[in-house]
Structure 1
Amino acid sequence: MMEQNILTHQQIQHKIERIAYQIYEANVTEKEIIVAGIVGGGLNFAKKLITVLKKITPAEITLCKVTMDKSDPLKSGVSTSLPEEDYKNKSVVLVDDVLNSGTTLIYGVHHFLKTPLKQLKTAVLVNRNHKKYPVKADFKGISLSTSLQEHVNVLFEPKKNRVFLD
């Protein structure tokens, strides 16, 4: 099957900026925003969002790494690089690169919901609309209606970010 480009580097940069502004608007009164990136593409995407957020908001932006076995998050569990006290009663944005079935995002959301938070939002670069779970992206770069056989790839490389189907 041939590779089909979905988003170019420049288009991804625009999506990152737009999502960062949406996150800022949703947290305009916050003194601190926790950006929780799911290890892998989500963490890379979170770091790019943080770069823009630090330029546009006076709030302190804190990165939290979220680690899980994406093939079996129930068995592996979810862990974070920050202790619970560091995000308790704060605004958290859970970030992943692609929302496929919703499995990764729902387990990430479930982890954070065990702690009282001011608010919890989700952000994804690509929303595939194939959800198994009732989870939605509050902030999304693009929504794609794809077949289950198609695979969405997100590559974050210096000056060559891209999203493509194969």
Structure 2
Amino acid sequence: MTNIILNHQEIEHKIKRIAYQIYETFADEQEVVIAGITSNGFVLAQKIGLVLNEITKSNIILCEVKIDKIHPANPITTSVAPEVYQNKCIVLVDDVLNSGTTLIYGVKHFLEVPVKKFKTVVLIDRNHKKYPVKADFKGLSLSTSLKEHVQVVFEPQNDHAYLV
């Protein structure tokens, strides 16, 4: 049985709110890197980037972060060279913060070069972390059992998140 926890309109609203929080945090910056973790994290980063492009004069650089979610210690690659995000403000984006494994390895990757400021974004924070990582901006905090699974689906005009 599935239980819808966010519908399309709610997700759009949360993306807009997160974008404004990012804008307020980095209002004086010339460039901001929005780095989305492969698949849903990158889709979410693109959606946030679209809103940011409407509300800020800052140059928004989109970056896809490829992390092996089964073996997160494997080498991480990005769609832009490290020189592009060096000494820049970075926002790391993922759809769901579950154990924190993916997010903490993503943070570690970006900290291998000097950065100006670093923030994290998730659409849904499940509150089951095994690492000391937090989302600076989140759409929804959700207390779930360890047996439950949160799935975010991005489809044209039908974005939604559900609990299984």
Alignment of 1:58-73 (within 5 A): 58-73=57-72
Question: How many Å apart are 1:81 and its aligned residue?
Answer: 1.0
Q: Normalising by the residue count of structure 1, what TM-score does the alignment of the two structures yield? A: 0.98
In structure 2, how many angstroms separate the alpha carbons of the residues matched to 1:54 and 1:102? 29
1:123 maps to what in 2?
Answer: 121
1:1-22: CA deviation from partner (whole Å, max 9, x where unpaired): x100100100000000000000
Structure-2 residue corresponding to 1:45: 44
Give the ranges of 4+ consecutive aligned residues of structure 1 lying more than 6 Å apart after TM superposition.
none
Q: In structure 2, what is the equivalent of residue 111 of structure 1?
A: 109
RMSD (CA atoms): 0.5
1:130 Cα offset (Å): 0.2
2:143 maps to 145
TM-score by length of 2: 0.99
Q: SS of the counterpart of 1:131?
A: coil
Which position in structure 2 is the counterpart of 1:159?
157
Q: Could you tell me how far 1:103 is from its partner in structure 2?
A: 0.2
* Corresponding residue SS for 2:99: coil
| Amino acid in the other structure paired with 2:116 | K
Aligned to 1:8: 7
Structure 2: segments with no counterpart, 5+ residues: none
Question: What runs of 5+ residues in structure 1 fail to find an aligned partner?
Answer: none
1:26-105 mapped onto 2 (5 Å cutoff): 26-74=25-73, 76-105=74-103
Deviations 1:51-98 (A, max 9, x none): 100000000001011001101111x22111111110011000000000
Count of matched residue pairs: 164
Identity of aligned residues (%): 59
